[in-house]
Amino acid sequence: MQDLSAKELRDKIADGRITSVEATEGVFASIDKYESTVGAYISIFKEQALAKAREVDEKVAAGQAVGILAGVPVAVKDNMCTAFGTTTCASRILENFRAPYNATVIEKLLAADAVIVGKANMDEFAMGSSTENSGLKRTVNPWDTSRVPGGSSGGSVAAVASQMCFAALGSDTGGSIRQPASFCGVVGLKPTYGRVSRFGLVAFGSSLDQIGPVTRSVEDCALMLNVIAGHDSADSTSVDEERSPMCDYLERLDEAIEPLKIGIVPQFNAGASEPVQKALAEALDVYRGLGAELVEVEMPHLEYAIAAYYVIATAEASSNLARYDGVHYGHRTEEPKDYVEVYSKSREEAFGQEVKRRIMLGTYALSSGYYDAYYLKALKVRNLIRGDFARAFERCDCIMMPVSPTTAFAIGEKTADPLQMYLADIYTIGANLAGVPGISIPSGFDPEGMPIGLQILSGAFTEDKLLRIARMFEKETDWHKSRPGIIS
């Protein structure tokens, strides 16, 4: 049962061939077996999940309509507010915080009759590329437990890869869904900015964050996007359906794009390792075999994406995290001497080093005398990058490039050098700056047996096209069917 896709499981539960309770108990059996090794979850909701599963089974038995996830066990990243359990953002400052409401995506999962089994580990406040910055626990890569799972959605991705859920939600600020999906051999989608409501997502970079699905297949990804996409009046950045019409992403998933024009950026891709470049070349050969045409596109400003991103993202983080002050909620220092120490010591004690680093960088970039030199200039570069993408998509249906320069690196390998860690996001950050959708799909392995992902990007609000292009590759290959040795 654990090898079923989310859609296959959904269909079997809805038809009465499998019960949701059986599927949920199977997931908890996997959690009992692998969680102590992988460390994917911060909190687990066994009693609540089984109660929801029984509720779904009772609906099916009575012949009542069930939601489109019909009892499928899923996980959610722990920066999405839930009225049940804690919402920690993997930070000591929110270790005991209980949100008074559900995020919109949580409400949509529950309305679709999903069974939420737990909340997944992450880099603290989504700041990181390896999940090593979690303030609460360590998550490892199920393919090689001496390596990182990627980040910041490392827990969500590791849970899917190790069969401790059938699908999950993550958030992507600069590649935080796509990069760990590549590292762990699963599918990860960052939708267009505004496609999915951010209401109830604890903010890191408000103009960059986007919630998206992590799954074992492109088909499951389309299913999950059907659940979470759509306008939300509670989120001012959510785009209404008049400007971005909704569709059933499963309906035409198996229809190939013909003719398909694929954009490539040769000089940009050259920075990846040899195994990653080889996997990209072989993936492009698959598409050529399907009749696709390769088009070289120029994106002259993409090389400045890292610099622009780390000014914009840290500036927004500095503003968003100012609310954690030891007064309103969250950790408060004991016996402060005065109100200044309430603020300073509470933050000093409970924020991790990477969060402190980014707050300091962002505060500096926004400070008097530096706003124009750094933040304003970064916004101008962002606009140029957005223009690069717009012009590229006039010539091609999509752009293909690596997800990361390398496969998953060793735990501790980059922690002493933040710049090297930041450069791990060089291929993913552009999509967040431009607001366009991007997906990572399994496309091979390096000589050491570590997964490699193929990144596909398309124009804003063209997720239907993006998923169909990804599905073309998936139908021709078996990479997405591979499982880590930990579960073989």
Give the other-Cβ count within 10 Å of 369's Cβ.
Answer: 6
Q: What is the pLDDT of residue 1?
A: 85
Indicate the pLDDT class of residue 475, thresholds 50, 70 and 90.
very high
pLDDT in tens, 165-182: 999 999 999 999 999 999
**455, part of any domain:** yes
Better-scored residue on pLDDT, 216 or 327 = 216
HSE-CB of 289 using CA atoms within 13 angstroms: 11
Q: What is the pLDDT of residue 270?
A: 85
Q: What is the pLDDT of residue 34?
A: 97
Check whether 352 has a pLDDT greater than 70.
Answer: yes
Rounded to the nearest integer, the mean pLDDT of the chain is: 96
The Cα–Cα gap between 214 and 180 comes to: 10
Q: What is the pLDDT of residue 368?
A: 87
Three-state SS sequence of the chain: CCCCCHHHHHHHHHCCCCCHHHHHHHHHHHHHHHHHHHCCEEEECHHHHHHHHHHHHHHHHCCCCCCCCCCCEEEEECCECCCCCCCCCCCHHHCCCCCCCCCHHHHHHHHCCCEEEEEECCCHHHCCCCCCCCCCCCCCECCECCECCCCCCHHHHHHHHCCCCCEEEEECCCCCCHHHHHHHCCEEEECCCCCECCCCECCCCCCCCCEEEEECCHHHHHHHHHHHECCCCCCCCCCCCCCCCCCCCCCCCCCCCCCCEEEECHHHHCCCCHHHHHHHHHHHHHHHHCCCEEEECCCCCHHHHHHHHHHHHHHHHHHHHHHCCCCCCCCCCCCCCCHHHHHHHHHHHHCCHHHHHHHHHHHHHHCCCCHHHHHHHHHHHHHHHHHHHHHHHHHCCEEEEECCCCCCCECCCCCCCHHHHHHCCCCCHHHHHHCCCEEEEEEEECCCCCEEEEEEECCCCCHHHHHHHHHHHHHHCCHHHCCCHHHC
**220, part of any domain:** yes
Q: What's this model's pTM, rounded to 2 decimal places?
A: 0.97
Supply the angle between the helices 6-14 and 218-228 in degrees, to the nearest 10: 70
pLDDT in tens, 93-130: 999 999 999 999 999 999 999 999 999 999 999 999 99
Q: What is the pLDDT of residue 245?
A: 77
Of 68-77, 149-158, 415-424, minimum mean pLDDT range? 415-424
| CATH number of the domain residue 427 falls in | 3.90.1300.10
Q: Note down the domain range covering 420.
A: 6-263+393-487
Check whether 243 has a pLDDT greater than 90.
Answer: no
**376, part of any domain:** no
Whether the CA torsion 317, 323, 325, 330 is positive or negative: it is: negative
Indicate the pLDDT class of residue 329, thresholds 50, 70 and 90.
confident
Pick the catalytic residue: 91, 130, 152, 197? Answer: 152
Relative to beta strand 167-171, strand 438-445 is: unpaired
Closest C-alpha among 137, 95, 85, 93 to residue 320: 93
Domain count, the chain: 1
pLDDT in tens, 372-388: 999 999 999 999 999 99
Check whether 294 has a pLDDT greater than 70.
Answer: yes
Share of the chain above pLDDT 70, in %: 100
pLDDT in tens, 50-65: 999 999 999 999 999 9
Tokens of 136: 């609460």
Indicate the pLDDT class of residue 269, thresholds 50, 70 and 90.
confident
77 is catalytic: yes
Check whether 242 has a pLDDT greater than 80.
Answer: no
CB 276 within 8 A of CB 406: yes
**340, part of any domain:** no
- With a CB cutoff of 8 Å and minimum separation 6, the contacts of 87 are 78, 79, 80, 81, 94, 97, 98, 99, 119, 202
Relative to beta strand 451-457, strand 398-402 is: antiparallel
**312, part of any domain:** no
Tokens of 375: 């933040």
The Cα–Cα gap between 265 and 466 comes to: 18
Check whether 335 has a pLDDT greater than 90.
Answer: no
Pick the catalytic residue: 91, 176, 197, 440? Answer: 176
Task: Spell out a b/e string for 350-364, using b for 16 or more CB atoms within 10 Å of the CB, else e.
Answer: bbbebbeebbebbbe
Supply the angle between the helices 305-320 and 353-366 in degrees, to the nearest 10: 100
CB 156 within 8 A of CB 422: no
**300, part of any domain:** no
The stretch 229-258 carries a mean pLDDT of: 92
**319, part of any domain:** no
Q: What is the pLDDT of residue 419?
A: 86
pLDDT in tens, 420-461: 899 889 999 999 999 999 999 999 999 999 999 999 999 999
The stretch 7-15 carries a mean pLDDT of: 97
Terminal Cα distance for the chain, rounded: 14
| Residue found under tokens 């990653």 | 276
**269, part of any domain:** no
Closest C-alpha among 163, 161, 157, 172 to residue 214: 157
476: amino acid identity, one letter: E
Check whether 215 has a pLDDT greater than 70.
Answer: yes
pLDDT in tens, 188-210: 999 999 999 999 999 999 999 99
Q: What is the pLDDT of residue 268?
A: 86
pLDDT in tens, 76-89: 999 999 999 999 99
Q: What is the pLDDT of residue 488?
A: 64
Beta bridge partners of 229: 196
The stretch 11-28 carries a mean pLDDT of: 97
Cis peptide before 259 (omega within 30 of 0): yes
- With a CB cutoff of 8 Å and minimum separation 6, the contacts of 30 are 2, 162, 163, 164, 487
The stretch 232-257 carries a mean pLDDT of: 91
